[in-house]
Structure 1
Amino acid sequence: MLQVRHYSFELAFEYPFTISKGTKTHQPTFVVALGLGNLTGFGEAPAINYYNVTVQGMIDALEAKRGVIERYALMDPQRFWHFLHHLLPGNEFLIAALDMAGWDLFAKMRKQPLYQLLGFKWQNVPLTDYTIGLGTAEEMVAKLKAHPWPLYKIKLGRVDDIDLLRALRQHTDAPFRVDANEGWTFDEAKALLPELAKLGVNMVEQPLKRSDNEAMKELKTLSPLPLFADESCVTEEDVKNCVEGFHGINIKLTKCGGITPALRMTQEARKLGLKVMMGSMNESTLGSAAIAHLMPILDEVDADGPLLLKEDIAEGLTYNNGQITVSNYTGLGVGFKGTKFEKK
């Protein structure tokens, strides 16, 4: 019989984290633990206000179904996800944490690191970027200088934010990724994309609103840069709808419901000729480890959550100049140390 525990945290950022949708100084996050005998699997889901997801909401939904979950016989993580999908409809963030914990526990039962359990070889793994949140030019340059990195993700929101990119370019030759978080209109994006290409940008995430499907199709035909869907690709059903407007998709484990659907989304994207990136929602080392174990099947990765946080609730990942290395312990290979920061 499974034993379910959960933990709540407010993890401080090293710097206030600003995107086009707002600023926060702490990342609220929810951790679930699934115990079986002397083994425990862990999963994490950060709470995101613009998706109306709160830690308390996840706790309430979990407690309402705790007894049913604890009676589940974990024999196959994919079946476990289908069980959760029907038990907790509409609670993808919570399902993601439970799915992650299920995979971690099952891989520990099989005495394998997760990537090996999934049949992957640790080769051709992409570099992770380091994210520079919005701020003044001076603030953003200071962050860049404090964190030398081979690849940066730059958050932009308004058209004149390109001046921030020009300021950053004076201090590094590293490639830039730009994430607009739905911040531009079609005309703005059309004008900005050639200028971004001149500044050494190698991809742009979600330039237009999720609802601007027809405009995205036209923008793709004009763009000198690869365009990746983020807000436009939340669940499995969204993948096929991204083909005409984007060159690739950015999968977020918490938004899609965990590792299980992310694997299917990757397979579907490959069939459709889309590139695949997996992105961070400011997860700690715990949630970032789940992303890291999937890197052998990704083209690009944004798993810098632990680098942005002042506090971490787990250990087991190594970051070295953009390269992430997993510990090769069983499961996710992380040690949970979150009680030190637990929100009471």
Structure 2
Amino acid sequence: MTDPADSTDPGGATGTTSLTTEFERVELPLKTPFTISRGTQHTADNVVVRIEDGEHVGVGAAAPSRHYGETAATVEAVLPDLLAAVEAVGDPLALDAVDARLDRVVERNPAAKAAVRIACCDLAAKRLDVPLYRLLGLDGSRTVTSSFTVGIDDPERMAEKTRDAVDAGYSVLKTKLGTDDDEARLAAVREAAPDARLRVDANEAWTPREAVRNCAWLAEYDVEFCEQPVPADHPEGLRYVYERSAVPIAADESCVTLADVPRIADACDIANVKLMKCGGPRQAVELFHAARAHGLETMLGCMIETNAAIAASVHLAPLLDYADLDGSLLLDSDPYDGVPMPGGDIDLSTVDRPGTGARRS
């Protein structure tokens, strides 16, 4: 039996070519400090990957998170081996072979793999002269609206950020909570945006009993759902909240890989997938199908990322019930443009560039 990791031309239509690869680390200042329950971030370190076939360049990026055991330094450490694996396959359209070889070379490091896989998908779609969503066989007419995130701050400042977001056209907002006075902060946001669809993300900050109590008043503010109210290492706690909550529950930190989907299926309503957690666009598609099979709704989130990464996520919109793809909007400036999302609205029918659509600003 042929090992797919050793196959360079599984379809017989393309064959190997000479690929060149490179990567660079970029430090991206944020517009304002961004605070969640675990701490405050002032900059985002991304690692941008480029894969070139002599005519086209595929671009991707890693936005590693210490919470999941990755940093820019660990990404840089494994990228030479990952990119050497891509060069060895030699065919940007042989995505199965690339995936298998990457997993064989490096066991974990999903953000690093995501960067490489995004670049490969971008290059493959460019070679076929189609947008990424068409390469993946998705229906570009299906749309969803991304939320815009309001980080933790004092209530007055959170209200100000909320008004700015509404004035910029955002109708779906996600509020970070996990403080000693969460209700005052949410009340300020709701007052500033009485007509917005409002979501809450506690980033594991509450105990199960606190979460149930808090979800009771979240419902009074017409919150659409609460994301990851309890620590991911307490699965029974998540189930406890889900069974008693007055609002739907989304799992984020509890939903990292494909194997997590059946584990959370009876403990939440929504599976929140991120390319940086699962390792790439096609891996995210697998998670979405698994979530649907287990009766869960689907959401795609992000880290604080350049459009070299976010653009790929946008192409998965047809598979989503909810989107939270505002990571690049939190940057002071982004070296890459992506797919336009005015007011968070994703309309893939307007995409007129092949690949992910990411390109230098």
Q: State TM-score, norm by structure 2.
A: 0.90
- Mapped contact 1:159–1:192 kept (Cα < 8 A): no
Say yes or no: does 1:201 pair with 2:231: no
Alignment correspondent of 1:342: none
Alignment correspondent of 1:3: 20
Return the alpha-carbon distance in structure 2 between the equivalents of residues 323 and 303 of structure 1: 10
Alignment correspondent of 1:267: 289
Alignment correspondent of 1:329: 353
Match of 1:220 among 239, 242, 248: 242
Greater shift, 259-268 or 316-325, is seen at 316-325
Alignment correspondent of 1:137: 155
Alignment correspondent of 2:65: 48
Alignment correspondent of 1:167: 188
Q: Secondary structure at the match of 1:239?
A: helix
The alpha-carbon deviation at position 51 of structure 1 amounts to: 2.3
List gaps (5 residues or longer) in structure 1.
338-344
* Residue-by-residue CA offset, 1:152-192 (whole Å, 9 max, x unaligned): 00000135212100111111121211001000001101111
Return the alpha-carbon distance in structure 2 between the equivalents of residues 68 and 265 of structure 1: 24
* Matched AA of 1:183: A
Return the alpha-carbon distance in structure 2 between the equivalents of residues 211 and 65 of structure 1: 30
The alpha-carbon deviation at position 49 of structure 1 amounts to: 2.3
The alpha-carbon deviation at position 35 of structure 1 amounts to: 0.7
Alignment correspondent of 2:274: 252
Return the alpha-carbon distance in structure 1 between the equivalents of residues 147 and 26 of structure 2: 25
Return the alpha-carbon distance in structure 2 between the equivalents of residues 331 and 60 of structure 1: 27
Q: Secondary structure at the match of 2:233?
A: coil
Return the alpha-carbon distance in structure 2 between the equivalents of residues 159 and 102 of structure 1: 45
* Residue-by-residue CA offset, 1:43-97 (whole Å, 9 max, x unaligned): 1111222223121221121224544432222232233112111111111111111
The alignment of Structure 1 onto Structure 2 pairs a total of residues equal to: 337
Alignment correspondent of 1:70: 87
- Mapped contact 2:64–2:276 kept (Cα < 8 A): no
Greater shift, 69-78 or 1-10, is seen at 69-78
Q: Secondary structure at the match of 1:143?
A: helix
* Matched AA of 1:333: G
Match of 2:113 among 68, 74, 95: 95
Alignment correspondent of 1:30: 47
Q: How does 1:236-247 map to 2 (within 5 A)?
A: 236-247=258-269
Identity of matched residues, %: 34
Say yes or no: does 1:311 pair with 2:333: yes
- Mapped contact 1:78–1:260 kept (Cα < 8 A): no
* Matched AA of 2:334: D
Tell me how large the CA RMSD over aligned residues is: 1.4
Return the alpha-carbon distance in structure 2 between the equivalents of residues 191 and 68 of structure 1: 50
* Residue-by-residue CA offset, 1:114-171 (whole Å, 9 max, x unaligned): 1111111222311000000001112111111222120100000135212100111111
* Residue-by-residue CA offset, 1:324-343 (whole Å, 9 max, x unaligned): 34533101012134xxxxxx
Return the alpha-carbon distance in structure 1 between the equivalents of residues 77 and 148 of structure 2: 34
Say yes or no: does 1:107 pair with 2:125: yes
Match of 1:295 among 304, 317, 332: 317
Return the alpha-carbon distance in structure 1 between the equivalents of residues 300 and 233 of structure 2: 22
- Mapped contact 2:272–2:299 kept (Cα < 8 A): yes
Match of 1:283 among 294, 297, 305: 305
Return the alpha-carbon distance in structure 2 between the equivalents of residues 89 and 237 of structure 1: 15
Q: Secondary structure at the match of 1:15?
A: strand
Return the alpha-carbon distance in structure 2 between the equivalents of residues 234 and 39 of structure 1: 32
Alignment correspondent of 2:203: 181
